[in-house]
């Protein structure tokens, strides 16, 4: 018996001396799975929509075929900055907001648990951003905050000025907005969600990206919720997209001044769902799509100087319905159930969206 006891002790000591393999780290969940939405008139939203007519063209967004939404975020694009500042009312605008971005259209999505944001700007309205920031950036921020509160939406900054952007004005806009809607890590207040668009990588919109990364997207004192790494000029390969997104994680130490690294938990990856005259797999065929091909990287991308957790927040798709005068768009009867919708199911996307990772 004494020998058996000694043997048991020896086996226990041996087991303790053998190093155990580290536990596998689970891939980060896809927390944001959203689409910019351009309406039926190429991103102006200048025409009123009825819910029935809108649903006939966009039903795939609220029902991927099993009664559940294909996305958990929709960004209505675009609000013209100067009209918002001046609270313009004209044929296509009501108090600074395009008439198509109505309370009824917002509720069409929110009634299905889909978060809604309004995007201010876009490449078409770069001059209007410049003018509004020169005229009264704080007033623009307060007006944006008032619209957000009224409609129950968040706001996205899409200021695509690549040459000498008005960063002081943009800071004043953000300060004014945050004075009304402080940063809310819980995500409970839709109007407190304030984000910014950057380029696909670090080589365009450099000044805006540098400022946002250094001052607004830090994990220790966040000001903006996150950034969207926008789409490239045209769809490319999985490897090319990943190389662009990696630039945000790495930063650009060789630039003067340098661009700091961005935490993975502070941005999303942008992909096309509508481009040209042929359907894209991102819209129609998840099995052969770029979101599937890049998923391992997006969910496991390691911090490289900023942040502590791996994995981007998720994906944003450009763009629902009719983003261009050329091309097919994403309208029914098929929509993007087979691509975006199938991806939402594969990733187990949570709707409504929960609190986002903060580090």
Higher pLDDT, 13 or 245: 245
Q: What is the pLDDT of residue 334?
A: 81
Torsion of CA 352, 342, 270, 41, to 10 degrees: -80
Q: With bands split at pLDDT 50, 70 and 90, how would you rate the model's confidence at 31?
A: very high
Q: How far apart are CA 205 and CA 263, in angstroms?
A: 18
d(CA 239, CA 121): 29
pLDDT recorded at residue 20: 35
Average pLDDT over residues 295-315: 98
On the question of pLDDT at 19 being above 90, the answer is no
What is the predicted pLDDT for the residue at 63?
Answer: 98
Q: Is 256 in contact with 312 (CB distance < 8 Å)?
A: no
Lowest mean pLDDT among 31-45, 91-105, 326-340: 326-340
Spell out the domains of the chain, with CATH numbers in brackets.
28-347 (3.20.20.80)
Residue 25 has a pLDDT of: 65
Give the separation between CA 96 and CA 98, rounded to whole angstroms. Answer: 7
pLDDT, mean of residues 212-230: 98
Give me the mean pLDDT over the 259-283 stretch. Answer: 96
Pairing between β-strand 97-98 and β-strand 93-94 as defined by DSSP bridges: antiparallel
For residue 347, the surrounding DSSP H or E stretch is helix 342-347
Chain mean pLDDT for the chain: 93
Supply angle C-alpha 205, 101, 48, rounded to 5: 130
pLDDT of residue 113: 98
Mean pLDDT across the stretch 118-147?
98
| Percent of the chain residues topping a pLDDT of 70 | 93
Under a CB-based contact definition with an 8 Å cutoff, are residues 209 and 198 in contact?
A: yes
Nearest to 177 by CA among 159, 201, 195, 163: 195
User: Look-up: residue for tokens 């900023």?
Assistant: 306
pLDDT tens-digit readout, 58-76: 999 999 999 999 999 999 9
Residues 224-270: pLDDT tens digits?
999 999 999 999 999 999 999 999 999 999 999 999 999 999 999 99
Beta bridge partners of 76: 37, 118
Phi-psi region of 118 (alpha: psi -120 to 50; beta: other; left: phi over 0): beta
Over range 131-156, report the average pLDDT: 98
Q: Is the pLDDT of residue 26 over 90?
A: no
pLDDT tens digits, one per residue of 157-209: 999 999 999 999 999 999 999 999 999 999 999 999 999 999 999 999 999 99
Residue 42, SS3 per DSSP = coil
pLDDT at 266: 98
Q: How confident is the model at residue 7 (pLDDT cuts 50, 70, 90)?
A: very low
Unique residue bearing structure tokens 């040459």: 163
What pLDDT sits at residue 221?
A: 96
Q: What is the mean pLDDT of residues 120-125?
A: 98
- How high is the pLDDT of residue 333? 85
Residue with tokens 């709707």: 351
What pTM, to 2 d.p., does this model score? 0.93
Beta carbons of 325 and 318 less than 8 angstroms apart: no
- The Cα 40–Cα 153 span in angstroms is 21
pLDDT at 34 over 80: yes
Span of 279-293, 303-317, 318-332 with lowest mean pLDDT: 318-332
């Amino acid at each position: 018996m004494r020998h058996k006891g000694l043997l048991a002790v020896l086996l226990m000591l041996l087991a303790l001396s053998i190093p155990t393999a580290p536990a596998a780290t689970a891939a980060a969940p896809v927390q944001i799975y959203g689409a910019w939405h351009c309406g039926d008139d190429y991103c102006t939203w200048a025409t009123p929509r009825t819910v029935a007519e809108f649903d006939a063209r966009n039903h795939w967004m609220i029902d991927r075929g099993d009664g559940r939404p294909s996305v958990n975020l929709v960004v209505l694009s675009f609000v013209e900055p100067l009209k918002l500042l001046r609270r313009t009312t004209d044929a296509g605008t009501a108090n600074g907001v395009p008439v198509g971005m109505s309370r009824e259209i917002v509720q069409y999505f929110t009634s299905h648990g889909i978060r809604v944001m309004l995007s201010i700007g876009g490449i078409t309205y770069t001059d209007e951003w410049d003018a509004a920031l020169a005229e009264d950036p704080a007033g623009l921020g307060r007006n944006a905050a008032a619209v957000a509160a009224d409609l129950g939406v968040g706001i996205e900054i899409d200021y695509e000025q690549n040459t000498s952007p008005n960063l002081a004005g943009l800071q004043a806009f953000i300060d004014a907005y945050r004075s009304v809607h402080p940063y809310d890590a819980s995500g409970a207040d839709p109007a407190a969600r304030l984000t910014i668009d950057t380029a696909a990588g670090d080589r365009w919109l450099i000044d805006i990206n540098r400022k946002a990364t250094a001052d607004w997207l830090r994990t220790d004192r966040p000001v903006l919720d996150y950034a969207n790494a926008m789409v490239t000029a045209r769809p490319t390969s999985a490897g090319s997209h990943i190389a662009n997104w990696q630039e945000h994680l790495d930063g650009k130490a060789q630039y003067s001044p340098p661009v700091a690294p961005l935490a993975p938990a502070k941005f999303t990856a942008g992909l096309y769902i509508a481009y040209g005259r042929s359907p894209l797999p991102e819209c129609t065929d998840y099995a052969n799509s770029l979101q599937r091909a890049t998923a391992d990287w997006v969910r496991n991308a390691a911090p490289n100087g900023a942040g502590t957790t791996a994995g981007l927040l998720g994906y944003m798709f450009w763009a629902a319905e009719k983003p261009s005068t050329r091309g097919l768009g994403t309208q029914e009867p098929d929509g993007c159930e087979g691509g975006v919708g199938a991806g939402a199911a594969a990733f187990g996307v949570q709707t409504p969206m929960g609190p986002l990772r903060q580090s």
